[in-house]
Amino acid sequence: MPAGSGSARRLRPPVRRHLPQRRAFRAYLQGLLLPRERNKTLTGLAGTEPVLGAQAGPAQRLQLFLSESVWDAQAVNTRRLELLCADPATRPHDGGVLILDETGDRKDGTHTDHVAHQYLGAVGRIDNGIVSVTSLWADDDVYHPLHGVPYIPARRLSQGKADPAFRTRP
């Protein structure tokens, strides 16, 4: 989404406390949506070089925004979905489909929430990683994500499979 587009401005209310926070929110959205090779990394989102770029101003401002800003992610997502459903070009219709997808990404270590030794579809085998279930709306012209929920493996819950929070993957 280009800077200054109407949709970016309409998402402003949940993060409107300070001008730097609004600017960082816009930079974050641009980093997610622009066609970049590394949009899953902080330096990729900020559009800087991978190693030295982490110390650059854009990456540092984005890091501060992501780690320290107080804003309601659910309110932003709710507003995003309201805007998508209100626009004739992106609202659901009979010519589109709802897609549910389970995606797994490799992740070393065990300190990050939801990381476990589990089947990862992206690598086609059991490995250490995070699995999430997402929903996506698509038709011939557009597609956009709706929701994403991380899967919590039984071993990450205090009572394992007996824990009330345990669910098999939908």
Question: Does 128 have pLDDT greater than 80?
Answer: yes
Query: In this structure, which amino acid lies at residue 136?
Result: L
| Residue 157 bridge partners (DSSP) | none
pLDDT band at 19 (very low <50, low <70, confident <90, very high): confident
Q: What angle do CA 47, 52, 57 make, to 5 degrees?
A: 55
Question: To 10 degrees, the CA torsion angle through 40, 45, 47, 50?
Answer: -40
User: What percent of the chain stands above pLDDT 90?
Assistant: 9
Residue 53 φ/ψ, nearest 5 degrees: -65, -20
Which amino acid appears at position 41 of this protein?
T
Helix 57-68 and helix 19-33, axial crossing angle in degrees, nearest 10: 100
Residue 7: which pLDDT band, with cuts at 50, 70 and 90?
very low
